[in-house]
């Protein structure tokens, strides 16, 4: 991993903003709706180029989401922009009844996901969106790992039938995928094959998993690493095949353990191919203020934590 | 539609629709009687005199749209849609039954039905989205109608949407409030007072038309005025009687969410002259 030049790092919210721009150029039906966080969600890039297709709602996420349903019912492809806490939580019933129930092509970009939001503290650190969104029928949930993947996921969301929730980060992250990498919602990316343990990660934790791999290599532990950018629909084949091969799994997410990506993997494997699973995530507590990487450390979301979990999982085989 | 209205025929049709609603609810054994009976004239006059629609082509691109935000009143909408031929009247008796497209609250997919609703407060936002999309598409003569309950205006989202329609000067929006003064827990003034409701909407930038919601002429006039209102959204504040048409159901909060039992149905139909 040679990614120490932080000037090249970008947030996945930046990828979302670029994806919206690309969609704006290519598809005249794409409209962007924002709830007063236009600059923070990078919706302002679209707004500047396509002011006639940008709609401002003020601090009213519920109204924004149901209005998006009206747009979709009229053949438009809306993207709703807010922080993850408000987009998934404040407007949950609107997402459920106005959007998911009708299986509309309404896409939701929830930025500021996870503990890495930093100093704003618990009220603004979304740790629940994967759980809240994946329980909804028809809903797809995607947590891209870097700028490029976020851009591709945003474009893909517009052309995916039904609603898509995009979980995006505020913090700048290294770009670990390549422009030419293929991306498909629902298709996991196997970054590396190894026979001792499978690490399944999404979002910021994909990078952490790759750093953990450096630690594991020194201990002669060969890991399979899966970038599970799509939590729903889950790529069951990729996950089960990896479990069969390595016989132990570690899941890594910057999200509550209850109901998140790790839970989705556990639901799948426990019914199809039970193996020891260790889960890295936030355990039944709210976040707090601090710098992003201080918090990542405090909440045990670091490469060392992943490597330790791998050893625990292997010992339980 | 829309020229001279035949009030006599409409009144007869309203009576038939009320009887139909009561039969449907009684057969289903559950459902919302009071709020379905209060909005019969509002919905019937809309489809008969105001809405541009084609039952043979429910997805007609140039159609006006109607969003029933108070989804629990769907028996009234179902009966009106069947009356205009969107689906056979025989479907109506399947209300709330397993496998029926006439769900307990409206489910998108039924011919003529524009949106799923049932969780209150969302319809006006949905209507606003349709209105903004129509404007984008330069369908300048398309009108979007939305019927809300009066108790429904307890929901904060209604006021978010009221601000949005006003902010975007959505003069292609015509909202209607079925102002029957009752909600599940009792009279609005006791549960949570919404008054002064007319002034509230006016102060939010809406043109408000206050009418008797059981008077076809008054309703049709209001729909016509809403069509010619420019630069702001319109609200028709329709004063109604909850449970209208059946003496022992009228003005009783307990009839919000129950269906008539067989003997009650018989008495009710007798009152309606069936």
Per residue in B162-178, pLDDT (tens digit) is 999 999 999 999 999 99
Question: Cα separations (Å) of A188 from A136, A235, A259, B127?
Answer: 21, 6, 19, 38
Instruction: Determine, for residues A72 and B129 on separate chains, whether the beta-carbon distance falls below 8 Å.
Output: yes
Q: Which of B162, B165, B175, B176 is nearest to B132 (CA)?
A: B165
Total domain count, chain A: 2
Please indicate, yes or no, whether residues A193 and A163 belong to a single structural domain of this protein.
no
Please indicate, yes or no, whether residues A70 and A138 belong to a single structural domain of this protein.
yes
Please indicate, yes or no, whether residues A226 and A151 belong to a single structural domain of this protein.
no
The span from the CA of A248 to the CA of A154, in Å, is 32
Q: Could you tell me which residues come within 8 angstroms of residue B111 by beta carbon, excluding any fewer than 6 positions away?
A: B55, B58, B81, B86, B87
Please indicate, yes or no, whether residues A133 and A195 belong to a single structural domain of this protein.
no
Tokens 């949950």 belong to A92
Tokens of A12: 């996945």
Let me know if residue A55 belongs to a domain.
yes
pLDDT digits (tens, 9 = 90+) for A217-230: 999 999 999 999 99
Tokens 């003569």 belong to B141
Supply the CATH number for residue A253's domain.
Answer: 3.40.50.920
The span from the CA of A165 to the CA of A8, in Å, is 26
Let me know if residue B1 belongs to a domain.
no
Tokens 């949930």 belong to A141
Tokens of A144: 């891209």
Report yes or no: A173 and A198 within 8 Å, Cβ to Cβ. no
Q: How confident is the model at residue B274 (pLDDT cuts 50, 70, 90)?
A: confident
The span from the CA of A129 to the CA of A175, in Å, is 23
Which residue from A62, A74, A76 is facing B160, i.e. has the nearest CB?
A62
DSSP β-ladder status, A189-192 and A223-227 = antiparallel
pLDDT for A128 beyond 70: yes
Q: Exposed/middle/buried for B90, CB within 10 Å: 0-12, 13-18, 19+? A: exposed
Let me know if residue A263 belongs to a domain.
yes
Q: Which of B236, B128, B223 is nearest to B173 (CA)?
A: B128
The span from the CA of A150 to the CA of B59, in Å, is 35
So what's the pLDDT on residue B5?
A: 79
Rounded to an integer, the average pLDDT of A185-189 is 98
Q: Could you tell me which residues come within 8 angstroms of residue A87 by beta carbon, excluding any fewer than 6 positions away?
A: A35, A61, A65, A80, A81, A108, A109, A110, A129, A165
pLDDT digits (tens, 9 = 90+) for B225-236: 999 999 999 999
Please indicate, yes or no, whether residues A153 and A213 belong to a single structural domain of this protein.
no
**CA of B131, closest CA in chain A: separation in Å?**
8
Q: Using N-to-C axis directions, what is the helix angle for A12-26 and A147-158, rounded to 10°?
A: 40
pLDDT for A22 beyond 50: yes
- Its domain, for residue B257, covers 7-271
Let me know if residue B2 belongs to a domain.
no
Instruction: Give B119's contacts in chain A (Cβ within 8 Å).
Output: 93, 96-97
Please indicate, yes or no, whether residues A55 and A140 belong to a single structural domain of this protein.
yes
Helix (H, G, I), strand (E, B) or coil at B120: coil
The span from the CA of B130 to the CA of B136, in Å, is 10
Let me know if residue B169 belongs to a domain.
yes
Let me know if residue B68 belongs to a domain.
yes
So what's the pLDDT on residue B1?
A: 46
So what's the pLDDT on residue A5?
A: 85
Total domain count, chain B: 1
Catalytic residue from among A22, A61, A171, A180:
A61
Instruction: Determine, for residues B118 and A97 on separate chains, whether the beta-carbon distance falls below 8 Å.
Output: yes
Let me know if residue B202 belongs to a domain.
yes
So what's the pLDDT on residue B78?
A: 98
Please indicate, yes or no, whether residues A235 and A299 belong to a single structural domain of this protein.
yes
Q: What is the ipTM of this complex?
A: 0.97
pLDDT for A29 beyond 70: yes
Let me know if residue B63 belongs to a domain.
yes
Let me know if residue A1 belongs to a domain.
no
So what's the pLDDT on residue A2?
A: 52
Let me know if residue A230 belongs to a domain.
yes
Tokens of A174: 């290294």
Phi/psi class of residue B44: alpha, beta or left (left: φ > 0; alpha: ψ in -120 to 50)? alpha
Q: How confident is the model at residue B4 (pLDDT cuts 50, 70, 90)?
A: low
Instruction: Give A57's contacts in chain B (Cβ within 8 Å).
Output: 160, 164
Instruction: Give A55's contacts in chain B (Cβ within 8 Å).
Output: 132, 168
Supply the CATH number for residue B121's domain.
Answer: 3.40.50.970
Please indicate, yes or no, whether residues A282 and A205 belong to a single structural domain of this protein.
yes
**Whole-number percent of chain A with pLDDT over 90:** 98
**CA of A40, closest CA in chain B: separation in Å?**
22
Supply the CATH number for residue A52's domain.
Answer: 3.40.50.970
- Its domain, for residue A143, covers 6-167
So what's the pLDDT on residue A1?
A: 54
Element (H, E) at A267: helix A261-272
The span from the CA of B164 to the CA of B124, in Å, is 10
The span from the CA of A148 to the CA of A312, in Å, is 33
Instruction: Determine, for residues B129 and A101 on separate chains, whether the beta-carbon distance falls below 8 Å.
Output: no
| A101 reaches B (C-beta below 8 A) | yes
**Whole-number percent of chain B with pLDDT over 70:** 99
Report yes or no: B75 and B36 within 8 Å, Cβ to Cβ. yes
**Whole-number percent of chain B with pLDDT over 90:** 97
Let me know if residue B149 belongs to a domain.
yes
pLDDT for B217 beyond 70: yes
Rounded to an integer, the average pLDDT of A41-67 is 98
Instruction: Determine, for residues B133 and A94 on separate chains, whether the beta-carbon distance falls below 8 Å.
Output: no
The yes-or-no answer on residue A128 being catalytic is no
DSSP β-ladder status, A107-111 and A164-167 = parallel
The span from the CA of A227 to the CA of A241, in Å, is 14
Q: Could you tell me which residues come within 8 angstroms of residue B185 by beta carbon, excluding any fewer than 6 positions away?
A: B191, B253
**CA of A237, closest CA in chain B: separation in Å?**
33
pLDDT digits (tens, 9 = 90+) for A262-315: 999 999 999 999 999 999 999 999 999 999 999 999 999 999 999 999 999 999
| B145 preceded by a cis bond (ω within 30 of 0) | no
Let me know if residue B197 belongs to a domain.
yes
**Half-sphere exposure at residue A291, Cβ-oriented, CA atoms within 13 angstroms:** 3
Instruction: Determine, for residues A71 and B164 on separate chains, whether the beta-carbon distance falls below 8 Å.
Output: no
| B107 reaches A (C-beta below 8 A) | yes
| B122 reaches A (C-beta below 8 A) | yes
Q: How confident is the model at residue B25 (pLDDT cuts 50, 70, 90)?
A: very high
Let me know if residue A180 belongs to a domain.
no
Report yes or no: B241 and B8 within 8 Å, Cβ to Cβ. no
Please indicate, yes or no, whether residues A127 and A227 belong to a single structural domain of this protein.
no
Mean pLDDT score across all residues of chain B: 97
pLDDT for B37 beyond 60: yes
User: In chain A, positions 21-80, which contact chain B (CB-CB < 8 Å)?
Assistant: 31, 52-53, 55, 57-58, 60, 62-76, 78
Instruction: Give A74's contacts in chain B (Cβ within 8 Å).
Output: 129-130, 133-134, 137
């Amino acid at each position: 991993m040679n990614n120490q030049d932080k000037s090249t790092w970008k947030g996945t919210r930046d990828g979302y903003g670029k994806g919206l721009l690309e969609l704006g150029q290519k598809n005249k039906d794409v409209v962007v709706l924002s709830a007063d966080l236009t600059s923070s969600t990078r919706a302002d890039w679209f707004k500047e180029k396509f002011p006639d297709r940008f709609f401002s709602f003020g601090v009213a996420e519920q109204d924004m989401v149901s209005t998006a349903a009206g747009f979709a019912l009229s053949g438009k492809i809306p993207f709703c922009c807010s922080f993850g806490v408000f987009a998934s939580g404040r407007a949950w019933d609107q997402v459920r009844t106005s959007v998911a129930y009708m299986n509309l092509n309404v896409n939701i970009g929830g930025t500021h996901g996870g503990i890495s939001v930093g100093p704003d503290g618990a009220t603004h650190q979304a740790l629940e969106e994967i759980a809240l969104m994946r329980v909804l029928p028809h809903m797809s949930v995607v947590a891209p790992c870097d700028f490029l993947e976020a851009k591709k996921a945003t474009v893909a969301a517009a052309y995916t039938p039904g609603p898509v929730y995009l979980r995006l980060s505020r913090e700048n992250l290294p770009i670990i995928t390549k422009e030419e990498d293929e991306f498909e919602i629902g298709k996991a990316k196997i970054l590396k094959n190894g026979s001792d343990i499978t690490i399944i990660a999404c979002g910021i934790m994909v990078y952490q998993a790759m750093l953990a791999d450096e630690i594991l290599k020194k201990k002669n532990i060969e890991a399979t690493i899966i970038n599970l950018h799509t939590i729903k629909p889950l790529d069951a084949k990729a996950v089960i095949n990896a479990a069969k091969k390595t016989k132990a799994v570690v899941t890594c997410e910057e999200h509550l353990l209850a109901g998140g990506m790790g839970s989705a993997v556990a639901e799948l494997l426990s019914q199809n191919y039970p193996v020891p699973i260790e889960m890295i995530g936030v355990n039944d507590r709210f976040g707090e203020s601090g710098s992003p990487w201080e918090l990542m450390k405090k909440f045990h979301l670091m490469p060392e934590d992943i490597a330790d979990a791998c050893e625990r999982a292997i010992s339980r085989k | 539609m829309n020229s001279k209205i035949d009030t006599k025929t409409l009144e007869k049709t309203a009576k038939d629709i009320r009887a139909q609603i009561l039969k449907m609810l009684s057969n289903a054994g559950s459902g919302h009687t009071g709020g379905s009976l209060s909005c019969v004239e509002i919905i019937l006059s809309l489809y008969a005199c105001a809405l541009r629609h084609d039952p043979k082509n429910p997805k007609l691109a140039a159609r006006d749209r109607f969003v029933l935000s108070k989804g629990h009143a769907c028996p009234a909408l179902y009966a009106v849609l069947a009356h205009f031929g969107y689906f056979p009247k025989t479907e109506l008796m399947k209300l709330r039954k397993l496998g029926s497209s006439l769900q307990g609250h409206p489910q998108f997919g039924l011919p003529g039905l524009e949106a799923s609703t049932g969780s209150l407060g969302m319809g006006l936002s949905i209507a606003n989205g349709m209105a903004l999309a129509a404007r984008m598409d330069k369908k300048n003569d398309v009108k979007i109608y939305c019927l809300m309950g009066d108790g429904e205006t307890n929901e904060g989202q209604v006021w978010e949407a009221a601000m949005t329609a006003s902010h975007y000067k959505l003069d292609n929006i015509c909202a209607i409030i079925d102002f029957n003064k009752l909600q599940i827990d009792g009279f609005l003034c006791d549960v949570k007072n919404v008054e002064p409701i007319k002034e509230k909407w006016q102060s939010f930038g809406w043109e408000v038309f206050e009418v008797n919601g059981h008077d076809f002429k008054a309703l049709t006039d209001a729909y016509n005025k809403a069509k010619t209102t420019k630069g702001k959204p319109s609200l028709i504040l329709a004063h109604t009687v909850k449970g209208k048409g059946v003496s022992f159901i009228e003005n009783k909060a307990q009839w919000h969410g129950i269906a008539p039992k067989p003997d009650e149905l018989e008495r009710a139909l007798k009152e309606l002259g069936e």
